[in-house]
Amino acid sequence: MAKAPTVILSNDVKCPQLGLGTWLSPPGEVQKAVKHAIDCGYRYFDCAMLYGNEAEIGQGIREKIADGTVTRDELFIVTKLWNTFHERDQVVPTCRQSLENFGLDYVDLYLIHWPVAQKLSGPFNINLPFDNAACYNHDFVDTWRGMEECVDLGIAKSIGVSNFTNEQLQRVLDAARIKPVMNQVEVTPNLNQKSLIKYCKDRGVQVTAYSPFGSPARPWKKPGDPDVSLDDPKLMSIGKKYGKTTSQVILRYLVELGAIPIPKSQNPKRIEMNIDIFDFTLDDEDMKAMDSFNCNGRAVHAMELMGSNEYPFKK
């Protein structure tokens, strides 16, 4: 299977146009998923300290480097700084901890996971990350100084943000010595983020589209949520026209919007299917049909962060 094409980020670094998500990819499965994905042409891996699986992902990556399938410089490994490590002097040690988990010397991109800082009031529980943690006021520009130190030290090739509004991103851009190259946000047909993508693009910031299928396995899913439906008749008829599945149509739509989708899968067939989207384009009529799904239907709310002044999804 062919590799995803690349885009050039504002710091001249090449970034693949599709990656593998790894949240909820469990121990015992994620290593196989990563290795299979590398065999299928994936080069971008989206990770986070929060997901609790960096060690196993790193093992899969190192095995594929050792067997000669890929070299380290062909890969684009992304991980994220969790909310409880926003103090400037915590950033470099936390990045180093992720590297130790992976067994790697550097990450290609290090992201501030949320614009909200939290303080632990008890032990950190990776499975219930918002437990024992309270939001507090902390300027993420201070956190950004620590992110810049990661680049200075060569432990992160590029730095960026996740779940930042345009205004929050602008505050970082205005203060930055080293500019953010990425904002990772939810982008789906139900939440197509056209204005955020344009705002970022105009400022040289690439958008990564998380939860491209609306995160169907999210633990907080409730009946009545505005879910993305892979069985939607409109989607199915577009898929039929191109000989593609509805999931492939969605991923292609996100690429056409200018975003980099990072679908999570631990299923070999779906891992293969999700990267097989670079041999077709959606015409104007189908792009319009895809646009018609947009309904501000967000899947990831992080309600636990609502009390913060920096909560990004205020109405």
Ligand X SMILES: O=C1CO[C@H](CO)[C@@H](O)[C@@H]1O
Ligand Y SMILES: NC(=O)C1=CN([C@@H]2O[C@H](COP(=O)(O)OP(=O)(O)OC[C@H]3O[C@@H](n4cnc5c(N)ncnc54)[C@H](OP(=O)(O)O)[C@@H]3O)[C@@H](O)[C@H]2O)C=CC1
Q: In the complex with ligand X, which residue's Cβ is closer, 23 or 164?
A: 23
Tokens 């904002």 -> residue? 183
Least separation in angstroms between residue 240's CB and ligand Y is 16
Least separation in angstroms between residue 131's CB and ligand X is 11
Q: Which residues contact 112 (CB under 8 A, 6 or more apart)?
A: 80, 81, 86, 140, 143, 144, 147, 160, 161, 162, 164
Give the separation between CA 235 and CA 251, rounded to whole angstroms. Answer: 12
Residues that bind ligand Y (CB under 6 A): 21-24, 46, 113, 162-163, 184, 210-217, 230, 247, 262-267, 270, 273-274, 300
| Catalytic option among 42, 51, 210, 253 | 51
Least separation in angstroms between residue 57's CB and ligand Y is 10
Helices (DSSP H) in the chain: which residue ranges?
30-40, 54-66, 88-102, 140-152, 166-175, 194-202, 233-242, 246-256, 268-275, 284-291
**Residue 183 forms beta bridges with which residues?**
161, 207
287 binds, among ligand Y, ligand X, none (CB under 5 to 8 A by kind): none
208 binds, among ligand Y, ligand X, none (CB under 5 to 8 A by kind): none
Active site residue 51: yes
- 113 marked among binding-site residues: yes
**Which residue minimizes CB distance to ligand Y?**
21
End-to-end CA, the chain: 43
Residues that bind ligand X (CB under 6 A): 23, 48, 129, 300, 302
Instruction: Provide the annotated active-site residues.
Output: 51
Annotated binding site for substrate: 113
